[in-house]
């Protein structure tokens, strides 16, 4: 027996009475997040909307049972409930906050899709109403920022005009003659939603009574999904919530930058420019420091066997970048080997002037084998990191010993 869909005639019916025509225990359905014992319920009539056409199902109560899911099973609507009703005559009550939110998003989608198509020739190929955000996929060239804003503005103009949203019935041919936005090839009598002088679209979903009830359409991001353009949008209560959280973000950011919300962009640009300038200054200072420190280290380190000069240092409180700069300066001198470690992090840097004739990569590998760590490099320049920074002393001693034992 076909379930009478009360929402087809009146999407504002929140409570209804009905008779149970079928009730059976259902197996748990982990995919739908249903783990306990549940019942499948079919009523002679229902105001509960099942998931379909991009709009999620309603929730609410049937008698004292909670409705967990509502499914469209062709002629019938199946309600998944958490207990068996004690009486075959039941009262149904849908969660109106959830439903009205869905109606705002869904009607807003009809309107927004119509604007994209009519004004910019971009047809909607799919719609998804999500828990936080809704999306439509547009086909065609990339919608520019002007197009996104233009469609939003045109949609909101029709919201302000508070035009009636009505249901029309007709065959596919009749609807086509009336200028339906998306033609369908189904037979029989179809249901279509008309927004006065703006849109006519076949749809079995639930909608508000007039465009004013959509409240507001707010277009968000647009991203490329395969061949189409996915436009995120929110309507009504969600638009207000998003505008509020956007402003909070702006306010917090302005507070961090110590400026007014209107000045966030210029303050951020300035902060980034300062950061870049500081980075350059620090880099230049480190380079100068490395040159001085290398000259000092070379003067104070006498050459050993085979005229090799080994500068071995554990450096305290330096960035790994400084090890590079320091080593590079040291090995500009012939027959010089730099064996460096950063005390806190355990970074290692072994480098040589090619005339020193060793293999820094092999040396580093040997140290890592003994003390643990990883890294690598070339014959003249190798970088690594000890697993335990406290082993830096031992690591450098082993490296030095290995060079001399060659
Ligand atoms: Zn619809």
What tens digit of pLDDT does each residue of 278-296 get? 999 999 999 999 999 999 9
Angle between helix 264-300 and 236-256 (nearest 10): 40
Query: d(Cα 341, Cα 364) in Å, to the nearest integer?
Result: 12
Residue 93 alpha carbon to ligand 1 centre in Å: 22
pLDDT at 239 over 90: yes
Name the average pLDDT for the chain: 94
Residue 238, token pair as written in the block: 């969600």
pLDDT at 183 over 80: no
Residue 194 alpha carbon to ligand 1 centre in Å: 10
In this prediction, residues 313-329 reach a mean pLDDT of 93
pLDDT at 184 over 80: no
Residue 167 alpha carbon to ligand 1 centre in Å: 10
pLDDT at 35 over 90: no
Residue 211 alpha carbon to ligand 1 centre in Å: 13
Residue 8 alpha carbon to ligand 1 centre in Å: 11
List, for residues 51-65, the tens digit of each pLDDT value: 998 899 999 999 999
* Confidence (pLDDT) at 348: 96
pTM above 0.85, yes or no: no
CA distances in angstroms from 129 to 53, 232, 328, listed in the order given: 9, 10, 59
pLDDT at 332 over 90: yes
Residue 107 alpha carbon to ligand 1 centre in Å: 6
**pLDDT-derived band at 396, boundaries 50, 70, 90:** very high
pLDDT at 264 over 90: yes
* Confidence (pLDDT) at 10: 94
List, for residues 132-175, the tens digit of each pLDDT value: 999 999 999 999 999 999 999 999 999 999 999 999 999 988 98
pLDDT at 47 over 90: yes
* Confidence (pLDDT) at 185: 78
Residue 238 alpha carbon to ligand 1 centre in Å: 18
Strands (DSSP E) contained in 299-346 are: 309-315, 336-342
CA dihedral 98, 5, 204, 66 (to 10 degrees): 30
Residue 208 alpha carbon to ligand 1 centre in Å: 10
CB atoms within 10 A of CB 167: 14
* Confidence (pLDDT) at 31: 76
* Confidence (pLDDT) at 179: 85
In this prediction, residues 17-28 reach a mean pLDDT of 92
Residue 124 alpha carbon to ligand 1 centre in Å: 13
pLDDT at 350 over 90: yes
Residue 191 alpha carbon to ligand 1 centre in Å: 10
Residue 115, token pair as written in the block: 């604007």
pLDDT at 190 over 80: yes
pLDDT at 389 over 80: yes
Q: Rounded to 5, what percent of the chain is helix, strand, coil?
A: 40, 30, 30
Residue 209 alpha carbon to ligand 1 centre in Å: 12
216, containing H or E segment: none
* Confidence (pLDDT) at 376: 95
Query: d(Cα 57, Cα 48) in Å, to the nearest integer?
Result: 7
Residue 394, token pair as written in the block: 């031992």
Residue 204 alpha carbon to ligand 1 centre in Å: 6
Residue 338 alpha carbon to ligand 1 centre in Å: 73
Residue 55 alpha carbon to ligand 1 centre in Å: 8
* Confidence (pLDDT) at 305: 82
pLDDT at 119 over 90: yes
In this prediction, residues 188-213 reach a mean pLDDT of 94
Residue 182 alpha carbon to ligand 1 centre in Å: 12
* Confidence (pLDDT) at 304: 85
* Confidence (pLDDT) at 181: 81
CA dihedral 134, 138, 142, 144 (to 10 degrees): -50
CB–CB of 225/137 below 8 Å?
A: yes
Nearest alpha carbon to residue 39 among 23, 63, 60, 19: 23
Residue 193 alpha carbon to ligand 1 centre in Å: 7
In this prediction, residues 112-141 reach a mean pLDDT of 96
pLDDT at 180 over 90: no
pLDDT at 229 over 80: yes
CB–CB of 346/385 below 8 Å?
A: yes
């Amino acid at each position: 027996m076909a379930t009478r869909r009360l929402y087809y005639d009146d999407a504002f019916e929140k409570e209804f009475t009905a008779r149970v025509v079928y009730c059976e225990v259902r197996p748990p359905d982990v995919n739908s997040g249903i783990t306990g014992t549940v019942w499948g319920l079919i009523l002679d009539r229902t105001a509960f909307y099942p998931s379909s056409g991009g709009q999620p199902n309603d929730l609410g109560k049937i008698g004292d049972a909670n409705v967990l899911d509502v499914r469209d099973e062709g002629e019938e609507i199946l309600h998944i409930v958490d207990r068996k009703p004690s009486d075959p005559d039941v009262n149904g009550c849908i969660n109106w906050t959830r439903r009205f939110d869905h109606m705002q998003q869904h009607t807003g989608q009809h309107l927004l899709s119509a604007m994209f198509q009519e004004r910019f020739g971009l047809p909607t190929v799919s719609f998804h109403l999500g828990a936080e955000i809704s999306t439509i996929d547009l086909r065609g060239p990339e919608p520019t920022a002007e197009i996104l804003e233009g469609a939003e503005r045109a949609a909101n103009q029709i919201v302000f005009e508070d035009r009636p949203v009505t249901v029309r019935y007709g065959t596919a041919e009749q609807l086509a003659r009336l200028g339906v936005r998306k033609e369908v090839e189904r037979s029989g009598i179809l249901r279509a939603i008309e927004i006065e002088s703006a849109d006519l679209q076949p749809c079995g979903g639930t909608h508000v009574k007039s465009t004013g009830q959509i409240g507001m359409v707010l277009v968000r991001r647009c991203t490329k999904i395969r061949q189409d353009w996915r436009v995120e949008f929110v309507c009504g209560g969600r638009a207000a919530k998003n505008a509020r959280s956007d402003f909070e973000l702006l306010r917090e950011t302005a507070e961090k930058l110590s400026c007014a919300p209107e000045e966030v962009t210029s303050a951020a640009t300035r902060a980034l420019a300062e950061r870049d300038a500081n980075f350059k200054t620090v880099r230049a200072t480190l380079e100068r420091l490395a040159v001085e420190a290398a000259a000092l280290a070379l003067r104070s380190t006498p050459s050993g066997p085979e005229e090799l000069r080994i500068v071995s240092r554990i450096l305290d409180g330096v960035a790994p970048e400084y090890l590079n700069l320091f080593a590079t300066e040291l090995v500009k001198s012939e027959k010089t080997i730099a064996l460096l470690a950063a005390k806190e992090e355990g970074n290692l840097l072994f480098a040589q002037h090619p005339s020193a004739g060793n293999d820094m990569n092999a040396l580093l590998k040997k140290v890592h084998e003994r003390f643990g760590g990883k890294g690598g490099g070339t014959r003249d320049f190798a970088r690594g990191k000890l697993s335990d920074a406290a082993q830096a002393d031992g690591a450098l001693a082993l490296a030095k010993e290995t060079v001399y034992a060659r």
